[in-house]
Amino acid sequence: MTAAIVQLTAGVGPVECRRFVAQLATRLEAVCAAAGLTVAEVVTTGVADAPRSIALHVDGDAATALAGEVGTHCLVERSAGRGRAARKRWFAAVSVHPASPLVAAPAPPPRAELIVTACRAGGPGGQHVNKVSSAVRVEHVPTGLVVRSAGERSQHANLTRALARLAAALHAAAQGQAATDAATRRRSHYQVERGAAVRTYARGADGGLALRGPA
């Protein structure tokens, strides 16, 4: 099966852009589910509600299904922490990359460094949510790296997969290894264009993102 990494990044934007990334990831998980794609893992870098980036590891033809989502996304909203004269347009970028195979890596870090919680699979909610908490969220406390795995049917299998992904990520970071595809994804962190947004949002009545259409 085709596998891809859907990367969302705030670039070097302020905290409002990072919060937008977290909200945008929730929307894109729903878009993936509606398109028949499986979000097998979610890797969050940075604070949970205001991350620098989020990578959705997707099973399925994400490049085709999400072609209309690739590019700059814009949220039009005044920030409560800034004056009325301040900017009110916040930008994040979405890109899709081929996924590299998960190669063997050292053993996961000690369990004392991990926070493991069970959660429901299927993304942000609605009809796609499983009633059984088979998905697993693993946080590496020292680094703040978070992996959520939901691609397997059993909680045990998802935990195994999440730990493997976490170990691989930590190993790559420690060794400073940068494969060509990883380097491409890393460069995209700094390619958030302010303008020419493919999607524009406002704050919905429920506090979530309300799509306003193309910019």
137, two tokens: 């969220």
Taking the alpha carbons of 48, 166, 37, 185 in that order, is the dihedral positive or negative?
Answer: positive
Looking at the DSSP assignment, which residues form a beta bridge with residue 137? Answer: 117, 148
DSSP E strands in the chain: the ranges are: 3-9, 38-47, 50-59, 71-76, 89-98, 114-119, 135-140, 145-149, 199-203, 209-213
CA–CA distance, 58 with 60 (Å, rounded to integer):
6
Write the pLDDT tens digit of every residue in 70-90. 999 999 998 887 877 778 899
Mean pLDDT, the chain, as a whole number?
Answer: 83
pLDDT at 131: 52
Instruction: Decide if pLDDT at 179 tops 60.
Output: no
Tell me, what's the pLDDT at 172?
73
Determine the residue type at 129: V
In order of 37, 55, 75, the CA distances from 149 in angstroms are 14, 12, 28
For residue 129, count other CB atoms closer than 10 A to its CB.
15
User: What's the CA gap between 83 and 131, in Å, rounded?
Assistant: 44
- Expressed in percent and rounded to 5, the helix, strand and coil fractions of the chain are 30, 35, 40
The residue with tokens 């499986």 is 38
Over residues 119-178, the pLDDT tens digits come to 876 544 444 444 557 899 999 999 889 999 988 888 999 999 999 888 888 877 766 544
pLDDT tens-digit series, residues 181-208: 666 676 666 666 666 788 898 988 888 8
Nearest-angstrom CA–CA distance, 20 and 209: 9
Residue 102 reports pLDDT greater than 70: no
Contact (Cβ atoms closer than 8 angstroms) between residue 189 and residue 11: yes
Q: Look up residue 22 and give its amino acid.
A: A
- What is the reported pTM? 0.68
